[in-house]
Amino acid sequence: MTTYQLKITGMSCEGCALKLQTGLEDLPGVRARVSYTEGLATVEASEEVPAERLIGQARADGYGASLVRETDEVPVRSPASGSVHIAIIGSGGGAFAAAIRAAEEGARVTMIEAGTVGGTCVNVGCVPSKITLRAAEIHHRRAHHPFHGIARDGGSVDRSALLAQIQFRVDELRQSKYEGILEDNPAVELLAGRAHFQDGATLAVHDASGQIRRLHPDRILIATGASPAIPPINGLADTPYWTSTEALFTDALPEHLVVIGGSFVALEIVQAYRRLGSEVTVLARSTLLSRDDPEIGVALQSALEAEGIRVLTHTTPHEVAHDTERFILTLDGEALMADRLLVATGRTPNTRALNLDAAGVETNPGGAIVVDNHLRTSAPNIYAVGDCTTMPQLVYVAAAAGTRAAINMTGGDSALDLSVVPAVVFTDPQVATVGLDEVQAERNGIDTDARRIDLEHVPRALANFDTHGFIKLVAERDTGRLIGAQIVAHNGGEMIQTAALAIRNRMTVRELANELFPYLTMAEGIKLCAQTFTKDVAKLSCCAG
């Protein structure tokens, strides 16, 4: 087998990458991985398939292609040298994954952090939000469970006690998973301060006292994350609005919370506050989760409204004011008042203060650092990972990228494959997605066949007396190969990896329908949905094979 790497032009989304990958793998003796983000195709081909034929296939599919390299074997990583010095700007999940792996490879690492060690996830993101969501769910279920003969009693919420528990777990995890690692790893030094580039090989680090320390490392990794984006609404900047950080760590529940935003951060907090006892109104500029399949937003809006949440779609305030006691939001034909306002309209990469131009590091118009599938930036010896890059803003993507960046910075050759990336929104029902939806696929020339099964046809959902949501599978029409899944279901996040693995292993929906799934589980719904491509599941027995 010969390994080729092709530079691909003309792709406009992940659907193009999937289309090209399918076209290449239709050639005999060919295995391919195509990355839309990096514009690269890595192809293993038998001797009967020369590079010219691969390029011709790509062009036949409508894309430009040129050979980057050709090797008889996949390159073998050379041993790392202990003299390699790597500077990492940031201390979140991607930074720590890189530091740990680089140290394992024999490098000396300097981690630079201006704030709290650990980054967003452990301190102000994943950990506190999931504790809050779980606590809110328990409180809600006590008063709203569906089972007869069991008393319903919502009780009261001691927000201060809950906040203390959240802070304890956050501190505990930061110590064990971040600070403790630094203490136990002599190869990694923590340098407190704010870094910026003086040129492509020099970092200036300003500490709290104003002292400047200059570093000249062999490699530099940027892992500075992202911060809440604040929309330019008239008057908003002059008010004491919340971001997600303040919302997660307040010691009192507001009587009425208004939330501007319709993405996952907004909706998770919206439902948590409602379940803890606040009146909640959400204002979405478009629809809920507008980047996903429209059916997802419709189903989730219905579930939120059933819990008493007011949802206003296609709504943006014209003006926001605060009179020392309450917020006043001016809408079309209405003045909306609340005692707290949360702004959750996305996140902006933390790159402006780095002086990236001095280092020759390219960013997109939004300030995100452009990286290839080896995490390389446009500047020699400078890499980047995490939310400050053009990659998906997911902590597990950042960590995987950090490990691979460390391998590459210490002499190795490791690519990050983002062709199959599952994602979860931790509302209830949860929203879990992977691969392409119908619109994404068909927009890019992939003829699809899709099936949806509502949870009223899933035995475990019936046994739970909770049939809110659906499972949807998207297949390539000609081959029947699974290319996408969208799930709206209680604990849907626990189900999505089944679909991700099926896509990764190029399974057809017929093969998925013939797999053995345990009964009664929610994951069995994926099998049932796969069966709907050829059968009417309403006419099957409970555990029909």
Catalytic residues: 11, 13, 16, 63, 121, 126, 542-543
Pairing of strands 279-283, 327-331: unpaired
Short-list 359, 63, 99, CA closest to 223: 99
Alpha helices (H) along 28-118: 51-60, 93-104
End-to-end Cα, the chain, rounded Å: 40
Give residue 37's identity as a one-letter amino acid code: T
Indicate the burial class of 317 (C-beta count within 10 angstroms; 0-12, 13-18, 19 or more).
buried
Please count the other Cβ atoms lying within 10 Å of the Cβ belonging to residue 472.
Answer: 21
Indicate the burial class of 502 (C-beta count within 10 angstroms; 0-12, 13-18, 19 or more).
buried
Which helix (H) or strand (E) covers residue 296, if one does? helix 294-306
Pairing of strands 188-192, 430-435: unpaired
Q: For residue 450, what is the DSSP state?
A: E
Cα 507 to Cα 132: distance, rounded to the nearest angstrom = 37
Token pair, residue 74, equals 């996949």
Please count the other Cβ atoms lying within 10 Å of the Cβ belonging to residue 112.
Answer: 24
Give 3-state DSSP helix, strand, coil % of the chain, rounded to 5: 35, 25, 40
Indicate the burial class of 66 (C-beta count within 10 angstroms; 0-12, 13-18, 19 or more).
exposed
Token pair, residue 438, equals 């119908």
Q: Do residues 94 and 121 make contact, with C-beta atoms less than 8 angstroms apart?
A: no
Residue 487's SS3 state is: strand
518: CB partners within 8 A, 6+ apart: 524
DSSP letters spanning 8-33: EE---SHHHHHHHHHHHHTSTTEEEE
Please count the other Cβ atoms lying within 10 Å of the Cβ belonging to residue 74.
Answer: 11
Give residue 490's identity as a one-letter amino acid code: H
- Determine the Cα angle at 498 with ends 493 and 500, to 5°: 90
Token pair, residue 329, equals 């939001």
Pairing of strands 340-343, 40-45: unpaired
